[in-house]
Structure 1
Amino acid sequence: MQRVSLPQRWSERLHLDDGRDLLLRPIQPEDAEPIRNAFSLLSPDEVRMRFLHPIKELTPELVHRLTHLDPATEFALVAAEPLPPGEALVGAVGRVSVEPGTRRGEFAILVSRFLANQGLGRLLMRKLVRWAKLKKLDELYGDVLDENSAMLGLADALGFRRELAPDDPGIVRVRLALRTAA
């Protein structure tokens, strides 16, 4: 994958090894409808891996919440077609939400099978970690199905540590310490 930085913060053009071009950029409110429409392209397994349980559709309320962020406590990037927001099909999303009253952020990543194995998950995670460090968070964490070997492998490779959720069989929490003790 080739990457070219763009003037807008957090944005860059991506040229994938398979020849496709994408734009990595912050999520925009205009992405709501394309994201909602693209949800139908996801396999049930992709949905379950991301949301930890099956869901049939993204409700307008949920999509609104996902695309209208509070910049003080939320951050999300999309990998989309190089078209204006609202017109571009979104194929990958990475996001962090700061837990209220803490210095911990929860991450989530979804890369469509149509863009899998191109390095987008790793790129998104590195950007999320960078944002969390800039926000001076102490920890970044996420809940992952224990069968999601791709996400667990990525987390391991980036230094996250695993712990089993005692009251949630089948869920692994991955944690990355962002600040070391003085």
Structure 2
Amino acid sequence: MTQRVAKSLQEREVQAKDGQRYLLRPIRPSDAPSLMRGYQALSPQERWFRMLHAVPELSEDAARAFCNPDLARDFCLVLEGQDGLAGEIVGGARITGEANGRDCEFSVSLRPEVRGLGLAQAALRMALQAAAEAGYERVYGTIARDNRGMIHLAVLLGFNIRQDPDDPAFVIAEKAL
């Protein structure tokens, strides 16, 4: 398979609600240590929301895998921090393509220090644009029912929310691209 082409997968600045500018860019293999530190900054509940099961820490192998997406189907955009978090990954959005080439799954993560600034929305918007440019037709995500922030973000970006038919603890957010 060849790499999916998406013009949106370029470095760009995004402006947060507080006026601060953050670099949004494709993830790099060298981001693994920062990804591990960012994961540790999450509360146990936030880690559970991110992985949908208990993962107390992100191993080096897992971090390396996240930082090396299969470019034939997947991509990840990350936000670089400012000030005290300069050089650190503070969040991002990932698209994971299905084997059928039409559907993809989204995920979003954001360190607590930068929540409420509109950065998750900016990252996910850009990831969705890139997914559409890459030829995906439908995007979905599984969200813990208690993850009100993620559900709110999905609704804000036009996703339809429905109960997960296999587990009442989750909802499915889905949208045509």
Normalised-by-shorter TM-score class = 0.7 to 0.9
User: In the aligned structure 1, how far is the partner of 2:132 from the partner of 2:167?
Assistant: 28
Q: Which runs of 4+ in 1 moved over 2 A?
A: 13-22
TM-score, normalization by structure 1: 0.84
SS at match of 2:104: strand
TM-score, normalization by structure 2: 0.86
| 1:17–1:154 CA distance, 2 compared to 1 (3 A) | closer
CA RMSD of aligned residues (A): 2.0
Bigger relative CO (Cα 8 Å, ≥ 6 apart): 2
- CA shift, 1:15, in A, is 4.3
**2:132 equivalent to 1:133:** yes
Give the equivalent residue in structure 1 for 2:165: 166
User: In the aligned structure 1, how far is the partner of 2:109 from the partner of 2:9?
Assistant: 21
Query: Which ranges of structure 1 fall in alignment gaps of 5 or more residues?
Result: 1-7
- CA shift, 1:138, in A, is 1.3
Answer whether contact 2:38 2:111 (CA < 8 A) is retained.
no
- CA shift, 1:152, in A, is 1.0
Query: Which ranges of structure 2 fall in alignment gaps of 5 or more residues?
Result: 1-7
SS at match of 2:146: coil
Give the equivalent residue in structure 2 for 1:177: 176
**2:152 equivalent to 1:153:** yes
**2:66 equivalent to 1:62:** no
SS at match of 1:45: helix
User: In the aligned structure 2, how far is the partner of 1:159 from the partner of 1:18?
Assistant: 24
User: In the aligned structure 1, how far is the partner of 2:104 from the partner of 2:80?
Assistant: 24
Identity percentage of aligned residues = 29
User: In the aligned structure 1, how far is the partner of 2:38 from the partner of 2:147?
Assistant: 21
Aligned length: 168
| 1:157–1:21 CA distance, 2 compared to 1 (3 A) | closer
Give the equivalent residue in structure 1 for 2:114: 115
